[in-house]
Structure 1
């Protein structure tokens, strides 16, 4: 007969205070998702009005005839060359940021919410109770707004019959991915 799988490991501890019974510390045997999967580091483009204007200026000053003259009738090489040039312009004008995402990050957490969490931590450390209350109120409002936006996104994917996107969203929401 196979041995049963143990999901919890127990450790006996001494009694707490003058209690007449021992404590039991229960530890899960499994590794949580955040420990099983490492953080993913990605680089993302930070698009802004200034970056778009700089990219437009780059394209406006480009002599596009040079590309067509150099490649003649070969449409494949012309397409490859233009794509490389456009990517080169985007890399030089649009700033990039390095972002770490963890496996237990919720999809509705935005940079604004992260900034409010940092502000809440700062208000807690400073001991200012009034500021802490106002930041907590604002944080609850922003989380509610983020969840609502995410819900609308999921509903839109359902309306567009994007079942794969819906399942990915549900799995990440439930912590299964």
Structure 2
């Protein structure tokens, strides 16, 4: 090989290496910018989610505290406590859950929104059933003992489901807020 051809091949090899290095550097810079942008996006999403989750947990906990007494079995069900004031507080608590549920549903992600929706539905069902039970117990409506037993059992079941769903929501909310995006 003569010196001219060796010089051209050397220059060509140097050019290819320089182009390869430039492409690799460009790719690395794009990835770095993409990672930074994604982290910033997650940070921007985290703050509103944190507030929405905190507020939702607060109102759902109040609802749970209110209906926790109803998780007992039929034999120890506190029928004497199911008065108009109790029913009204239950309805107010369910309305507060519904109000905060909207914020959580919009903040996401999907798993959190699904659990919040379950809590909202259970809260409404509990408020409705407590109101109905109060009407039966006060004599506004009549029902057989079997019907009352069924309503009480359903209320106890739904109150226990509400508590479990609230625990699940808290764990999912913690996981969503801890997610740094490194595993996707």
Same fold (TM over 0.5): no
Greater strand fraction, Structure 1 or Structure 2: 1
The structure, 1 or 2, with the larger RCO (C-alpha pairs under 8 Å, 6+ apart) is: 2
Greater helix fraction, Structure 1 or Structure 2: 2
After TM superposition, the score normalised by the length of structure 2 is: 0.28
User: Which structure has the bigger radius of gyration?
Assistant: 2
